[in-house]
Structure 1
Amino acid sequence: MRILVTNDDGYSAPGVHALAHALSSHDVRVVAPQNQKSACSQSITIRGGLSVSKTEFLHTWAIDDGYPADCVKLSLSGVVFDDDWMPELVLSGINQGMNTGNIVYCSGTVGAAREASFHRIPAIAFSMDSFRISNFDRAAHIAKAIVDLVGEHKMPDFCFLNVNIPCESEPGGEDALGVLRKGGPIVGIRKSRLGTSCVVDQSIRQQDGDIKLQAKLLYDSDAQEKQDDAIDLSLGYVTVVAISERNMSMAERYLNQLFEGQVEIGGLKVL
């Protein structure tokens, strides 16, 4: 399968290369921003120009000052590659930091997957729930299993998946949004739903007049009973959510079909 991989952490980030390496049996090409572009949502460049350069990494191109959605648009337009290569699947990630609930609307990782879906290209966004993780091997193994499953089940047009993977290696650690991680093993994988958790601003003006930017994740007080992706992730589950900007019921039917009859995915029990 021809797979385009991008991200919002930059072309040299470890997550994007762990993902590409795990999928090396496929025809994989990486096109990613030159620099960090987190929280840029689905932004695109409409003024000036963008430069594309081949990087020191195999089959990897960098878009100077471009956004993740730019990487997808340019790759699909045919101007990045010297041949007529066109992806059958677009993957975004593996992101450093979770993308659950309403965070998906400001995420550059998810924005790239959404951009691909607008072009009727199946897409999956992958994120981990830590900003400090450096080893993505387990997450990449799980991502490959999900990619293989999606390869067996045609994704509807204008649909994409959002996958979040717990971080196992930081017991008691606290990520940049102040969310306490239990640090235990991944307990399973489950289809979930997009919750209403969101990032709230807690910036303060310091005595010298400068503003210190701070943010915190705010959970829905009823989410524990409703079972959404943020809660499932905090309990140690890999969460898979189907999203469509046109037909959510169609996306949810696809997710049900994807999980139907599955006992394990990537060595994880479906729960």
Structure 2
Amino acid sequence: MQTDYVQRFLFENLDIRGRLVCLTDAWQRMLQGRGYPEDIVTLLGHTTALNVLLGANQKGAGRVTLQVQGTGPVKLLVADCTAELRIRGMAHYEADDIGQESERELLGDGRMAVTLEDVKSGKFYQSLVPLEGTTLEEIFAHYLSQSEQLEAYLRLYADGAAAAGLLLEKLPGADSRDPDGWNRVTHFANTLTLQETRDVQPYDLLTRIFPEELMRVFRLYAVEYHCPYDEDKVKDMLRGLGREEVESILAEQGEVVIRNEMCNHEYRFDAAAIARLFQTMH
């Protein structure tokens, strides 16, 4: 059974399209070793689920990076999804200030940035919008309605075991096809719970939520967490700094420590390792 996926679908008679994402193993791997508080897990889970929903629209074409920058205790939420639907992400926050605040209080003021990298041309396209809404879900829904120019319905869920999301978009001809169609499917969508998304095939879940609607279900895309330990890349970076700079760090700190926050990896180099590193340049 595929447990990390994004499923695209279309209501045949309504001109309403949708995407459903569920992450379990990939999401748990992203959280592994980070020790995030429950509120941070929820916020990062929502960010990651939406990032995959956006990435699925660019499958094979581009990389999507979603960043939420705030002035509250939560300073940064980042989720990244490649054209192959490989994900990674992180949160930066002030631990002492994480209490009983609402999501908006945790974020404060700030902005959201969505960056698309076109893999064919190598060009980057970025949208910047202020944080408008009382929850991250509302903030994201507002962004979607502005950027896609379509009425959108968004539900996001996350805990330490799973992250999920459901996105519906009302296409221009929907009301002429069925004036009550949008109200009907969003009403049924409100019944979805996070628990329902686990250990169930997406087609079975969609037909359970929307039992009376005719749906076309497209190819199921697998999602995976991908943030490999890459010491060679770090060594190249240190060589780029130059021997003098690296040895000054070594003299001051006793070792050179490089921290990759995005992947939660740490690279440590003692004097012997640094000596070997620059010997290979000759």
Q: TM-score, normalised by structure 1?
A: 0.23
Task: Return the index of the structure with the highest Cα Rg.
Answer: 2
- Structure 1 or 2: more helix by fraction: 2
More relative contact order, 1 or 2 (CA 8 Å, 6+ apart): 2
Give the TM-score taking structure 2 as reference length. Answer: 0.23
More strand by share: 2
